[in-house]
């Protein structure tokens, strides 16, 4: 909120036709600054842009969710856009003009920590998701899959707080389960135009609104926060309350740390990581290790009635489509069985599989990080697996 406010005051001095923001920072990962800046400047936005198709009186972009066009002035947040240019060592230095609050007409109370309705109460090492791996032989794979897929529960349970809010609002049904851990009654609103949700909230003053942490929620909740003049905590994985304040837990620094965050204004709002109900009880995913042989993974998935996933490595190679991407910038999953094959297990990937029942990793590198997050491991090339 404070960052977007400061930027909005500076940008008003320039009056540009187009503002290009990165989708999200590498430390906070909130993806909030772009959308809240657009709302403060009252201009259109397009998020998760992969390519600009055309710019004239309007701008048309190809995004994660299809092609979108809006009138200028506009703000876009970009994902994979261009390769960054390294600064040249021979470049001549120039003076950087420094603007202060007075120059941009900003209210100092709304800048920096003073202007932030959310506060980080503590950060700590994220130890969630580590598992004890038992190594097995390739020919045992089918038997383990069959035994583990019969087990009922997955590992993600939400512990209810001792005191709970009388009512919690959620946008979209996926959040009902986590909302029950902090609220006695849950009011579910369908996804709709953000102005309508804001209108409704202004009339009824809910204490808490939870938004889905999907592309829609991450693009719209920051705009609602600006309109409702309240804070927003992004991409939470766990919630707690003492009956009055909401304590929001979220991975930060790409999941290496967890942060506990509180919001001092109402409604207290969070986007919450959604793990979509999986269509199938087993998901098998390919990574860069399987490269062009991804069809083999897809054929095996079909044979055993499993869904197919992929690492970002494989998606970035253009071999798997984005909707299959599992991870921080893809989707979180929680099937009974997950089989990452040819995936190294970067934290950006493992942070989205914490809710899986049983993880069976296939990788020829016995030191691959994925084994630290697996229940079973097969040290082998995918070529040695009797798929």
List of residues contacting ligand FAD (CB under 6 A): 26, 254, 287-289, 311-314, 325-330, 342-344, 346, 348-349, 362-365, 368, 381-383
Task: Name the minimum Å distance from CB 339 to ligand FAD.
Answer: 12
Task: Name the minimum Å distance from CB 4 to ligand FAD.
Answer: 20
Task: Name the minimum Å distance from CB 331 to ligand FAD.
Answer: 8
Task: Name the minimum Å distance from CB 96 to ligand FAD.
Answer: 27
What residue is closest to ligand FAD based on CB?
327
C-alpha 194/C-alpha 47 separation (Å) is 15
Identity of the residue, 160 or 364, whose beta carbon is nearer to ligand FAD in the bound complex: 364
Identity of the residue, 149 or 273, whose beta carbon is nearer to ligand FAD in the bound complex: 273
Task: Name the minimum Å distance from CB 24 to ligand FAD.
Answer: 7
Tokens 């399987």 sit at which residue? 290
Identity of the residue, 72 or 128, whose beta carbon is nearer to ligand FAD in the bound complex: 128
Could you tell me the CA-to-CA distances from 41 to 105, 126, 380 in Å, in that order? 15, 37, 54
Identity of the residue, 261 or 320, whose beta carbon is nearer to ligand FAD in the bound complex: 320
C-alpha 173/C-alpha 212 separation (Å) is 9
Strand partners, 20: 76
Q: How many secondary structure helices (H) and strands (E) does the chain include?
A: 10, 20
Identity of the residue, 30 or 268, whose beta carbon is nearer to ligand FAD in the bound complex: 30
* Spatial CB neighbours of 182, under 8 Å, sequence gap ≥ 6: 160, 161, 164, 165, 168, 208, 239, 240, 241, 246
Q: What is the largest CA-CA distance in the chain?
A: 70
C-alpha 340/C-alpha 326 separation (Å) is 10
Q: Do residues 33 and 7 make contact, with C-beta atoms less than 8 angstroms apart?
A: yes
Task: Name the minimum Å distance from CB 368 to ligand FAD.
Answer: 4
Identity of the residue, 190 or 292, whose beta carbon is nearer to ligand FAD in the bound complex: 292
């Amino acid at each position: 909120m404070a960052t977007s406010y400061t930027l909005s005051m500076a940008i008003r001095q320039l009056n540009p036709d187009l503002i290009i923001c990165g989708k999200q920072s590498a430390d906070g990962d909130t993806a909030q600054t772009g959308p809240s800046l657009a709302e403060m400047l009252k201009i259109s936005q397009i998020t998760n842009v992969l390519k600009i198709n055309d710019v004239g009186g309007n701008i048309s972009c190809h995004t994660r969710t299809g092609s979108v066009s809006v009138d200028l002035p506009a703000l876009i947040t970009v994902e994979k856009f261009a390769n960054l240019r390294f600064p040249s060592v021979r470049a001549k230095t120039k003076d950087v003009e420094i603007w202060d609050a007075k120059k941009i007409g900003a209210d100092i109370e709304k800048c920096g920590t003073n202007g932030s309705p959310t506060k980080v109460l503590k950060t700590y090492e994220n130890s969630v998701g580590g598992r004890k791996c038992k190594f097995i032989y390739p020919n045992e794979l089918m038997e383990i899959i069959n035994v583990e897929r019969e087990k009922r529960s997955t590992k993600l349970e939400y512990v209810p707080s001792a005191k709970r809010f009388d009512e919690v609002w959620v946008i979209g049904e996926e959040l009902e389960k986590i909302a029950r851990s902090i609220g006695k009654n849950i009011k579910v609103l369908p996804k709709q135009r953000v102005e309508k949700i804001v209108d409704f909230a202004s009339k009824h003053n809910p204490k808490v609104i939870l938004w889905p942490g999907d592309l829609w929620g991450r693009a719209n909740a920051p705009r609602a926060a600006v309109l409702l003049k309240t804070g927003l905590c992004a991409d939470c994985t766990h919630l707690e309350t003492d009956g009055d304040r909401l304590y929001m837990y979220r991975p930060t620094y790409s999941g290496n740390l967890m942060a506990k965050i509180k919001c001092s204004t109402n409604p207290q709002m969070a986007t919450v990581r959604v793990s979509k109900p999986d269509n199938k009880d087993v998901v098998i995913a390919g990574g860069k290790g399987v490269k062009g042989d991804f069809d083999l993974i897809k054929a095996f998935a079909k044979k055993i009635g499993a869904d197919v996933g992929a690492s970002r490595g494989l998606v970035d190679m253009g071999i798997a489509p984005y909707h299959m991407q599992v991870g921080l910038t893809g989707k979180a999953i929680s099937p009974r069985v997950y089989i990452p094959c040819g995936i190294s297990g970067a934290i950006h990937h493992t942070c989205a599989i914490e809710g899986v029942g049983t993880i069976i990793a296939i990788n020829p590198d016995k030191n691959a990080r994925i084994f630290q997050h697996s229940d079973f491991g097969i040290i082998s090339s995918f070529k040695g697996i009797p798929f």
